Structure 1
């Protein structure tokens, strides 16, 4: 188990951000791995966070267990599984920095376009998945699995397909919670095969678990107090911020 005080100085805010993301403020958790990477290697940071994410998934799925879209999951999860497999197979050949830069730029352009569209004309709310194009859902599911495995950045591709559907707030959060809970379990075999889930990693994650659970419940409490009509605007703004962070990390990685 890690005992470095600096590690916990960055791990505590990282876990809190993850909890808020799992509670409903989708996307901001992408900052967690880079924060931990200030104290340990990115590989070790990702390994420590995976058990924490799985526990947080339990909380978020339970909180929104009655509001999720079965059709979306049936469409996107099989593609995500393929994407995770491609990520494992191509990890040695694909630059994490390049993936981060590409995902970041796409997320920024998409979110800004949607914010402009919502400002120019009121978008009618649509319930369910009929407004989406199935082929695009499969493509985004594939990209979500791939980027989640390669760069722990699966949120933006998922949101690019799901956000324009204008699901009710709780259904959007519940669907995201169930989707990423399954995706995180899909990633476990790869981490085990690479020998990253060691007793020391699990012990370190265990120390942070009480904070992880508390911060996730705090996220659930806070997101339910955001007015429903303003929820999507908040998520689009967060997506711009997340995209900017990914793009910055990608450029930094490519130049270093």
Structure 2
């Protein structure tokens, strides 16, 4: 129990409250639009701690909520058959990128995180609706996976360019939700291995990450309740605007 709480004892009550509220909000965003938990968590926590610490905290809630998302839909076998080149590239690029780049606390790390958030927000707000010719999937999928893995290794954010690529495949709603869960699960597991190879993901970090699973799940359940009562399109627009402002702040100020 001591190892579970030691991280929060070290950072103090104010930072602990920030972590809890961040994961409630991040879970709520995921509950409404089906993605965004690690993106929101990395962005907000990046204001107050190193990207390495933030990435270690999101491992358990991100993995379990993505597995929950992955388990529903009934299209897993077909999606694995179609997406395996991208998924393999994500996995190994994240591992190699962690060894090469690493999510450290250097002066460039927060700026890189801000840049990734800003690019994702701009794409969500004004990006064109893409439609990919299936013939191009054979080479574009692995390339997308390679780039996603490198961005994940450098920033802890694994939505660019994986999400635009998956959206361009014109999957059904259920297929898209499951494909996102599949991609994010692979990214999170590879990120966890990368952090472990840097001696960042020890017992203390895993314990701290396990404890934020509760606020993340509560936020996700609240977001699913909220989804039935608000316009998902309006919420999504507000989400990307807020994410863009946050990304711009981190990009400029670090």
TM-score w.r.t. length of structure 1: 0.75
Confirm or deny: 8 A CA contact 2:125 2:240 kept in the other structure: no
Looking at structure 1, the residues matched to 206 and 81 of structure 2 have their Cα atoms a distance apart, in angstroms, of 34
For structure 1, the 5+ residue unaligned runs are: none
Name the residue aligned to 2:247: 246
Name the residue aligned to 2:142: 138
1:59 aligned onto 2:74:
no
Name the residue aligned to 2:113: 100
Change (3 A) 1:241 1:171: farther
1:147 aligned onto 2:151:
yes
Offset of 1:106 from its aligned partner?
Answer: 3.8
Offset of 1:7 from its aligned partner?
Answer: 1.9
Offset of 1:109 from its aligned partner?
Answer: 4.7
Confirm or deny: 8 A CA contact 1:80 1:142 kept in the other structure: yes
Post-superposition CA distance 1:65-116 (Å, at most 9, x none): 42553355313101212320332132169943453355345435533444xx
Looking at structure 2, the residues matched to 33 and 105 of structure 1 have their Cα atoms a distance apart, in angstroms, of 13
Matches within 5 A, 1:110-125: 110-114=123-127
Which of 7, 12, 16 is the equivalent residue of 2:24?
Answer: 16
Give the CA RMSD over aligned residues: 3.5
Looking at structure 2, the residues matched to 97 and 42 of structure 1 have their Cα atoms a distance apart, in angstroms, of 7
Offset of 1:40 from its aligned partner?
Answer: 4.0
TM-score w.r.t. length of structure 2: 0.75
Post-superposition CA distance 1:135-193 (Å, at most 9, x none): 33322222211111210121131122122333222321211012111221122222222
Change (3 A) 1:89 1:194: closer
Offset of 1:207 from its aligned partner?
Answer: 2.6
1:185 aligned onto 2:212:
no
Change (3 A) 1:174 1:232: farther
Change (3 A) 1:48 1:155: same
1:167 aligned onto 2:167:
no
1:87 aligned onto 2:97:
yes
Q: Larger deviation: 201-210 or 150-159?
A: 201-210
Looking at structure 2, the residues matched to 242 and 19 of structure 1 have their Cα atoms a distance apart, in angstroms, of 15
Alignment coverage as a number of residue pairs: 240
Which of 58, 76, 85 is the equivalent residue of 2:86?
Answer: 76
For structure 2, the 5+ residue unaligned runs are: 1-5
